[in-house]
Chains A and B, each alone.
Chain A
Amino acid sequence: MRSNSNTLSPTMETTAAHLSIQHVSKVYPGRQTLMDKALKRTSSDFTAIADIDLEIEPNTFVSIIGPSGCGKSTLLNIIAGLSRPSTGSIVLNGQPISGPGPDRGVIFQNYALMPWMTVAENIRFAIETVYPKMPLADQNNIVHEYIGLVGLRGAERKHPHELSGGMKQRVGIARALAINPQILLMDEPFGALDALTRGFLQDEIERIWEQDRKTVILITHSIEEALLLSDKIVMMTRGPAARIAQVLDVPFPRPRKREQLDQYPGYHELKAAMEEHLSFETRAVEQARVKASA
């Protein structure tokens, strides 16, 4: 059904990835030891997310949206394997994950490019780490291919400090895609960009996703971004002990065009539902903060 552009190596075959999040919660333990009690600096445990259950079908684009501080990033870090869940587990294709690994590609909000590597070296570093035995010529072909995919031809030899924020994130996207992960995890990838660049990169993500249709989990604050890109939108409640409030289906046909987005049937209803949920949760968060500081 899908023709993958990566036919360079047998290890690069994609499989349809099914991700299952089972009863995941994350508790940050407070200070409770005798020493802390003696020094009167005890604090109670903090539950960031509580009992999250979510099934993510292969080849779907899922956005997670929620008020700030609701533990969206915590959940993504657990899926990435950078943080361990306090309870529950993440199961990828029937295998529980025990740590980070190249089956999940991560795109970071702050780009996380190595400043001492050029654009091409940043991408090659990822390929070389994941496929150490691949011949150098093949590695360079993949680097070249993904630099072209994100439209960075000509900037291969530049260092990150010579790039704009949007170009940096395109390198981040190319680096995550170049290792051909089963799932792509994006943690507010466009949060640090200006509105015009953000819109442009959203269109790029939509275009790239149409080619490959990898499973994607996107953390976002933006309702429009979620509606443009997602098949499903997971709305979370406010923290502490954040949980899933509702999962919305976005049935718009693809490829989607930003300009025509509001003409799809159901667009305004979905947008209104999300705005209502988010403003309600955000208001509650702010009120709790006012009370806490009073």
Chain B
Amino acid sequence: MANSTLQTSAPKKRSLRFNTDQRALILFFIILGLFLLIWELGVQAKLFLPIMPSASQTLKDFWFWISDPFFDYGPNDKGIGLLLMTSLRRVAIGFLIGSAIAVPLGILLGLSPVAAKAFDPFIQILRPVSPLAWLPLGLALMKDSEKTALFVIAISSIWPTLANTKFGVSNVDPSYLNVARTLGASRWRTIRKVILPAAAPSIVSGLRISFGIAWLVIVAAEILLSGGIGYFVWNEWNNLKISSIITAILIIGLTGLVLDRLFGLLQSWVSFGQRS
């Protein structure tokens, strides 16, 4: 039958080639190899400052850091795992403070057009401010470097959550609201059972962006502090240990990736096939 010949011939053709994922993986390794090669050759040809380590030296140092992540030889000599824990704790606290402000405020702004218009100038002006600009103000307000770091992380992570929560709450599908109205649901019940679940995908996508920003800000915020991966970057720069800084960059990037994926899972968990 024509059908069966089609079916037998198609896999045969396919088995000769790699599929899209496999080809992308091969290309990934080619790019990575070229990058490391240029780096290695560049160092040997003395294109960069002498403090720039070679790729092979960096890989060795990277392995040193990740093979024993939890040693503790005093405040300036800790394993990368302990540093990461300190940073994660600060980011989590700052992010929670920011979210505890942004989510309820976003719900309020989404429900009340008057409040939304009144708050809009503040939000529009404060949102584009660089997190670094908040550092001196935070220090003046908080009088304490630990609290300042939390303040900067919190205030930088407010905006995406606030904007997305407001958008999600004010753009609930009107047919869901009509269902609640025809059933005679109270305002409070409509908010709790209809508006918030309907806005949940938007809120979580706001939290996801906010967490990304909080993680981005940690390096800058920890320059003021001791301990943590941002402090490590600053400290190793003072030691002129570039390979440690590259290690820190990779660890920061990988941690950010993992956390972003976790938020992605949360997002699909609240979405139920809705577009978010």
Contacts and interface: CB of A to CB of B under 8 A. Distances in A.
B37 interface: no
Interface string A94-133: 0000011110111010101011110000000110011000
Interface of B is mostly: helix
Interface stretch (B83-91, B94-102, B174-182, B224-232): B174-182
A100 B193 contact: no
Interface in B155-210: 173, 175-176, 178-185, 189, 193-194, 197-198, 200
Contacts of B272: 115-116, 159-161
A112 B270 contact: no
B274 interface: yes
Contacts of A116: 197-198, 200, 270, 272
B11 interface: no
B121 interface: no
Contacts of A101: 182, 184
Contacts of B185: 129
B74 interface: no
Interface size class of B (residues with CB under 8 A): 20 to 34
Contact of A106 (B178, B197, B274): B178
B75 interface: no
A179 interface: yes
A106 B184 CA distance: 12
B197 A81 contact: no
Nearest to A159: B272
A2 B41 CA distance: 92
Given A100-B184, A115-B274, A116-B198, A108 B175 contact: yes
Interface of A is mostly: loop
Contact of A126 (B176, B178, B183, B274): B183
B175 A110 contact: yes
B194 to A, nearest CB: 7
A80 B182 contact: yes
Interface residues of A, number: 26
B184 A114 contact: no
A82 interface: yes
Nearest to B274: A115
Contacts of B197: 114, 116-117
A112 B175 contact: yes
B50 interface: no
B182 A102 contact: yes
A112 B185 CA distance: 15
B183 A102 contact: yes
A162 B194 CA distance: 20
A129 B273 contact: no
A106 B182 contact: yes
A129 B183 contact: yes
B181 A82 contact: yes
A130 B184 contact: yes
19 contacts: A80-B182, A81-B181, A82-B178, A82-B181, A100-B182, A102-B182, A105-B182, A106-B178, A112-B176, A112-B179, A114-B194, A114-B198, A115-B273, A116-B197, A125-B183, A126-B183, A130-B183, A161-B272, A161-B274
Interface of B: 173, 175-176, 178-185, 189, 193-194, 197-198, 200, 270, 272-274
Interface of A: 80-82, 99-102, 104-106, 108, 110, 112, 114-117, 125-126, 129-130, 159-162, 179
